Amino acid sequence: MPPPAKSRLRGASLLITLQLTSRLLSFTANQLFLLRHVTATQLGHAARLEASAATVLFLARDGLRVAVPRVRQPEPQSVVNLGYLSAALAYALTLLTVYTLTLYRLSSVLNFSLLPRASSAGYLDGPAVRLAASVSAQGIVKHLLTQGDTFLVAVLAPAHVQGVYALANNYGGLLARLLFQPIEESCRGYFSLLLSPEQQSATGKDDGEGTKKVVAVVEASRSLTVLARLYLVLSVIVVALGPFAAPPLLALVAGSRWSEAGAGRVLATYSLYVPFLALNGLAEAFVASVATERHLHRQSLAMAVFSLVFAVSAGVLMRVLGWGAHGLVVANMVNLLCRICWCAVFIKDYFGRRKHAFSLTALFPRHAFAAAAAVAAVLVRLRVHDGAESEPIRALAMIAAWAIPLLAITAFLERDLLLQCLHSVRGKEVGKP
């Protein structure tokens, strides 16, 4: 495995550990001090405030997070000049002393000045600035889609419904935030380093057939395939067990108040949304890593269309059909399905222009899906959902009795994939899946 892959895997492991620790602490605090003492209406008002805070944070950082990893070997003088933008922080005596002593020794070797002066490359990296602007414009649309469910609930539903959806979103999104999000963040940097923009022309085509480029494309395809298959294997397990386990589990950890409010049933619907979250996050991480400004502009236009589809779907499902929070979850599925399809077309075209076949059908774990479907059919036949919220321990015990065989069968059927992931984490070379 190339050095960038090893470093990114280590980074992903650390990020997952950090996310797991912080989420468990916040989850415990919410259980002990918050959820059992607030109503759905109060949580709905809090969700509106959180959406506003998330918007400010997103606008401040998201564009740069995509553009900065693509900067290639910046001129030393540009780095020094950039440091003076944070002049207020430069007064910290310790930092000033350390950097002065260190850079003074390096200045004669690397031929740069510690004082700001004109740079041949300019004060800012032009391509990076344009890319950051393009990503930020696209990100605003994406953020409206991401937070659009909160805004739509505020407009189309009372605070009570918004609180129920917020609770289901917080619990249902735990897997995405704990596992998927750290991996996607690491993949974004990994693919940016592996598939350097310098290997592409302005039109997005290869400017050569060098061996290193071919190896990088093959490695990127292999990594993307392994991750997508792993995501789908986890997703089919969640879809098979989640709708049955969600209501009794929520009744056990959040109390009967939320069960009576219908949060358990909404969480059951939300578990069907997890595969869309997983695939969309991975696909968009790849697109953000390798897309040119032209492709990002096209994606922004497509996402604007998808936002209209989402708004219409949510309005029909929530207002016309009266599905409430369930309708909002389904509208989100429609939205992410559109985004996944766009990314799939882009990925297929990206590898096709580099003369490398990327099979979308090979990603689907047929054996794991068959096993999960069989277990789900058994749970339906046993009517596990009947009385699950009134007797949560009994229901969870029945689900666990079938979940353990499902996990064992899935691990056996997908053993090659799991071994490949294990070897990759350990930094060993593995063959193609």
What are the pLDDT digits (tens) for 342-361? 999 999 999 988 888 888 88
d(CA 361, CA 261): 41
262 — alpha (psi -120 to 50), left (phi > 0) or beta? left
pLDDT in tens, 290-332: 888 888 888 888 888 888 898 899 889 888 888 888 888 999 9
Among the ranges 64-68, 148-152, 214-218, 265-269, which has the highest mean pLDDT value? 265-269
pLDDT of residue 115: 74
How far apart (Å, rounded) are the C-alpha atoms in residues 98 and 167? Answer: 47
**Res. 68: pLDDT tops 70:** no
Tell me what pLDDT residue 397 has.
92
pLDDT at residue number 204? 45
pLDDT band at 271 (very low <50, low <70, confident <90, very high): very high
Assess contact for 218 and 355: CB atoms under 8 A: no
Q: Look at 71 and 158; give whichever has higher pLDDT.
A: 158
- 104 compared with 400, residue with greater pLDDT: 400
Q: Which residue has the higher pLDDT, 55 or 290?
A: 290
| pLDDT (average), residues 363-385 | 89
- Identify the residue with better confidence: 222 or 23: 222
| Predicted pLDDT of residue 391 | 86
Which has more pLDDT, 312 or 179? Answer: 312
pLDDT band at 387 (very low <50, low <70, confident <90, very high): confident
Q: Is the pLDDT of residue 405 over 50?
A: yes
Query: DSSP state, 363?
Result: G
Answer yes or no: is pLDDT of 431 > 50: no
Map residue 200 onto helix, strand or coil. Answer: strand
CA separation (Å) from 229 to 67, 178, 414?
28, 18, 10
Q: Please say if the pLDDT value at position 88 is more than 50.
A: yes
> Residue 52 pLDDT > 80, yes or no?
no
Q: List the one residue out of 408, 394, 285 whose CA is nearest residue 347.
A: 285
Average per-residue pLDDT for the chain: 79
Is residue 280's pLDDT more than 90? yes
Model confidence at 186, pLDDT cuts 50, 70, 90, reads confident
Burial of 378 (0-12, 13-18, 19+ CB in 10 A): middle
pLDDT of residue 342: 95
CB contact set of 143 (below 8 Å; sequence gap of 6+): 54, 55, 58, 59, 62
Share of the chain above pLDDT 90, in %: 20
pLDDT at 237: 93
The token pair that represents 281 in the structure block: 């996050």
HSE of 120 in the Cβ direction (CA atoms, 13 Å)?
5
pLDDT digit string, tens, across residues 187-232: 888 888 888 654 444 344 444 456 777 888 888 898 899 999 999 9
The whole-number pLDDT of residue 166 equals 82
Count of other CB atoms within 10 angstroms of residue 9: 20
> pLDDT confidence of 31, banded at 50, 70, 90?
low
Least confident segment among 152-156, 247-251, 362-366: 152-156
pLDDT value, residue 145: 61
* Average pLDDT value for residue range 166-177: 81
Predicted pLDDT at 128: 72
Please give the single-letter amino acid code of residue 412. F
Computed on alpha carbons and rounded to an integer, the radius of gyration of the chain in Å comes to 24
Whole-number pLDDT of residue 412: 92
Is the predicted pLDDT of residue 399 greater than 70, yes or no?
Answer: yes
Of residues 293 and 64, more confidence is placed in: 293
**pLDDT reported for residue 20:** 72
Spatial separation of the C-alpha atoms in residues 209 and 297, rounded to whole Å = 27
CB count within 10 Å of CB 14 equals 12
Please, what's the b/e burial string for 257-289 (b: 16 or more CB within 10 A of its CB; e: otherwise)? ebbebbbbbbbbbbbbbbbbbbbbbbbbbbbbb
pLDDT of 91 reads 63
pLDDT in the model for residue 429: 44
pTM of the model: 0.68
> What pLDDT is recorded for position 432?
40
Please give the average per-residue pLDDT across 104-126, as a whole number. 72
The pLDDT of residue 410 is above 50: yes
In the prediction, which pLDDT does 100 show? 80
